[in-house]
Structure 1
Amino acid sequence: MTAFVPGMLPEEYEDLRAGVAKFADEEVAPVSAELDAEHEFPYGLVAKMGEMGLFGLPFDEEYGGMGGDYFALCLAIEEIGRVNQSLAITLEAGVSLGAMPIYRFGTEEQKREWLPGLTDGSGLGAFGLTEPEAGSDAGGTKTRATLDDGTWTVNGSKCFITNSGTDITRLVTATAVTGTRTSGSGGEVPEISTIMIPTGTRGFTAEPAYDKVGWNSSDTHPLTFDDVQVPEANLLGERGRGYANFLRILDEGRIAVGALSVGAAQGCVDESVKYAKERRAFGQPISDFQGISFKIARMEARVVAARSAYYLAASRMLAGMPFKKEAAIAKMIAGEAAMDNARDATQIHGGYGFMNEYLVARHYRDSKILEVGEGTTEVQLMLIARELGI
């Protein structure tokens, strides 16, 4: 097993990280405040990331990918998340939630049809799991799909779906109840499958975008399926394995969200160090005050711990070892680090930290969802406890 160690990356990974960091600093950071203020989806930056190959990092070259791996994707997400969480979640969701289910569970025909247009960044896929009454609770899924004469008819709704309503969204892969099955205890439980629904299909509506607290330049919509009809061949993976397959996708995604969270936490450290050295009070830089320097030191400690946690989870995943517990730990620790660092960075910046044009203010608004999305902190604790046998 190759264990990734912060600060000691193999050359190919370090070159990737440095290249994405340069892109983030020189091209993403200067326009991020305006994109956030205007709630504008960053089409130009997405196109640039496509040209850089970021959307294809973990996919085989035969499907238009870069032939890299999931850890490479995480490094890119971390560096972008350092300066713009909205853009980072666009990449994370487009790859690990949009394209990855097709890559993991699709037929060869499905992969060749859909992946090239997703791995090059010209199109985005979305992951339709959460509903008003269902997310972690699969039994609450209300969306239904019936199969008749080679056609699926889908009815229901989804909520909080990232990348689902852009001009370049190509499809949503949605969970739906397709029947019932007998559980291990002998009772009847929903049979949940996943079905690919291309945008533009009659009856598929991306409702008006949410008015969110943060991630203002990412795309998030509720979805409605009203007698949506797609071919039987649009079933993704084995019938009845939809939820189990999505759980695998979520385990991987938690590592990527952990990486995004580490980027946000690191961004707060960087901004706080810079500000504390420049801001003067009582005749000296505020970095000279122990109350400030200790706060920043604790912020840095959180970053190091969280980065180490997601590096470990990624190492185990790529080695083919069990990683569910490590992914849950990484996601939880990193999400909390991002939120704690954002709060401390805002405090260090004082009144300026409350102004939206400052990066730390955006991180303060953006970071809360990192303790909620792709499994709340409480869900991560449940998963960790379960993996411990309790």
Structure 2
Amino acid sequence: MAVVRSMPTEEAEALLDLTRELVAKQVAPRAAADEDAAQFPRDVFRTLGAAGLLSLPYPEEYEGGGQPYEVYLQVLEELAAGWLAVGLGVSVHTLSCYPVAQFGTDEQRAARLPAMLSGELLGAYCLSEPQSGSDAAALTTRALADGDGYTVTGTKAWTTHGGVADFYTVMVRTGEPGPRGISTLIVPADADGLSFAAPERKMGMRSSPTAQVHLDGVRVPLADRIGEEGIGFKIALASLDSGRLGIAACAVGVAQAALDAAVEYARERRQFGAPIADLQGIQFMLADMATAVAAGRALYLTAARLRDAGRPFGKEAAMAKLFCTDAAMRVTTDAVQVFGGYGYTTDFPVERYMREAKVLQIVEGTNQIQRMVIGRHLTRP
């Protein structure tokens, strides 16, 4: 289905065309088989890195793409429409790089970002713990000051790319209980004392490993702390504001893929002597699905433009994450309904879209948390 998008420059339009070509040739064709086999597509991320798609919203001086968030999110949408594990993986990698890019020193940015953004390295973001998911400020992973660094002990949970990432952006407790005692460290995958549990067995996103990360006396130099000690929770929240827009864009991508599949099927499937697309009941479903997709896209782009303009966008990011992911769940469920019994089989992709959409209502802050965030913005000075 043709989609009219906002492209500020010819360069951005070319970037989106490149993304579509890569998705059509190297991403979408292998999605179903790799999902069935729970095969992580590390080579795809290297390809995307070589094409410049892992670096889009970061400065050119550090080998970034220098693109506005508005453009980056539309690229994410295309990637997620082809394969959510890839689109979400790029979003998580971007989230993992954000603390260095935004809060690191000039020396840290120069030393780390080029490798992070080139595709040479893949990142993971470690905030949640087994007993502190939505209540992230209650994390207990402890980093004890030890000479010129820290010794870190604890367990992180629900880590996308856990066990396959090359570096981990880890929120740790360096001080008092609560949000003011949290700091941010970068931990390389080969650090002594770092290990990983077996990947979680999930209903969807099987090719994207999600695993606990165990830190048993991991030694982290002081130079690998990002920002001042005690501002880690501020870094985490700032990262999540941007990351939620990535989830919103991925949700719209999955919903668009489900809508396209449903429209195509409705045109071809014949019942009562005519295509089911001629039935008013089907047309109304497709109309509602298309409206939800368009509304979600407009919402995340509006939030992205605020971010690009340097204006506050936290409330709008929460709104976009909430609306787009709920819409993706409805649209994918309706797509299965359009397919009827066939939609419940693995012969068609809509059942996979439906399973994938569910996790988007949970990751990077459940939609109940998004409602709390929005409510606080509305009711507090």
Normalised TM-score (structure 2): 0.95
Query: After the TM superposition, which residues 169-318 of structure 1 pair with which residues of structure 2 at under 5 Å, given as runs?
Result: 169-180=165-176, 191-318=181-308
Partner Cα distance (1:303, 1:356) in 2: 24
Partner Cα distance (1:48, 1:359) in 2: 24
RMSD: 1.6
1:182-230 deviation line (CA, Å, top 9, x unaligned): xxxxxx8761111111111111112211111111111211011111111
SS where residue 54 of structure 2 aligns?
helix
Partner Cα distance (2:257, 2:57) in 1: 25
Partner Cα distance (1:47, 1:139) in 2: 34
SS where residue 193 of structure 1 aligns?
strand
- Of residues 143, 146, 153 in structure 1, which corresponds to 2:144? 146
In structure 1, the partner of 2:101 is: 103
Determine if the alignment matches structure 1 residue 29 to structure 2 residue 28.
yes
- The Cα shift of 1:382 comes to 0.6
Contact map agreement 2:69 2:305 (CA 8 A) in 1: no
- The Cα shift of 1:6 comes to 5.5
- The Cα shift of 1:287 comes to 0.4
Partner Cα distance (2:343, 2:304) in 1: 33
SS where residue 303 of structure 1 aligns?
helix
In structure 2, the partner of 1:64 is: 63
Partner Cα distance (1:6, 1:288) in 2: 25
- The Cα shift of 1:304 comes to 0.8
Query: After the TM superposition, which residues 58-137 of structure 1 pair with which residues of structure 2 at under 5 Å, given as runs?
Result: 58-95=57-94, 97-137=95-135
Amino acid aligned to 2:167: L
Partner Cα distance (2:274, 2:225) in 1: 65
Partner Cα distance (1:385, 1:27) in 2: 42
- The Cα shift of 1:23 comes to 1.9
Determine if the alignment matches structure 1 residue 337 to structure 2 residue 327.
yes
Partner Cα distance (1:114, 1:163) in 2: 19
In structure 1, the partner of 2:353 is: 363
Amino acid aligned to 2:87: A
1:12-34 deviation line (CA, Å, top 9, x unaligned): 33332232122212321111111
Contact map agreement 2:57 2:67 (CA 8 A) in 1: yes
Contact map agreement 1:177 1:192 (CA 8 A) in 2: yes
Partner Cα distance (1:28, 1:311) in 2: 24
Partner Cα distance (2:156, 2:6) in 1: 42
In structure 1, the partner of 2:48 is: 49
Contact map agreement 2:134 2:366 (CA 8 A) in 1: no
SS where residue 208 of structure 1 aligns?
coil
- The Cα shift of 1:388 comes to 0.5
Normalised TM-score (structure 1): 0.93
In structure 1, the partner of 2:160 is: 162
Structure ranking higher on relative contact order (CA contacts 8 Å, 6+ apart): 1
SS where residue 175 of structure 2 aligns?
strand
Contact map agreement 1:126 1:162 (CA 8 A) in 2: yes
Question: 5+ residue gaps in structure 2?
Answer: none
SS where residue 180 of structure 1 aligns?
coil
1:268-297 deviation line (CA, Å, top 9, x unaligned): 110011010011111111101111111011
SS where residue 115 of structure 1 aligns?
helix
In structure 2, the partner of 1:185 is: none
**1:347–1:110: structure 2 CA closer, same or farther, 3 Å change rule?**
same
Contact map agreement 2:335 2:343 (CA 8 A) in 1: yes
SS where residue 153 of structure 1 aligns?
strand
Bigger shift: residues 36-45 or 312-321: 36-45
In structure 1, the partner of 2:311 is: 321
Partner Cα distance (1:8, 1:311) in 2: 9
Partner Cα distance (1:196, 1:370) in 2: 26
Question: 5+ residue gaps in structure 1?
Answer: 182-187
- The Cα shift of 1:259 comes to 0.5
Partner Cα distance (2:17, 2:360) in 1: 24
Amino acid aligned to 1:113: A
Contact map agreement 2:180 2:231 (CA 8 A) in 1: no
Partner Cα distance (1:256, 1:344) in 2: 23
Amino acid aligned to 2:5: G
Contact map agreement 2:179 2:233 (CA 8 A) in 1: no
Contact map agreement 1:155 1:228 (CA 8 A) in 2: yes
Partner Cα distance (2:194, 2:227) in 1: 21
**1:375–1:290: structure 2 CA closer, same or farther, 3 Å change rule?**
same
Amino acid aligned to 1:286: I
> Percent of pairs identical after alignment?
38
Contact map agreement 2:255 2:293 (CA 8 A) in 1: yes
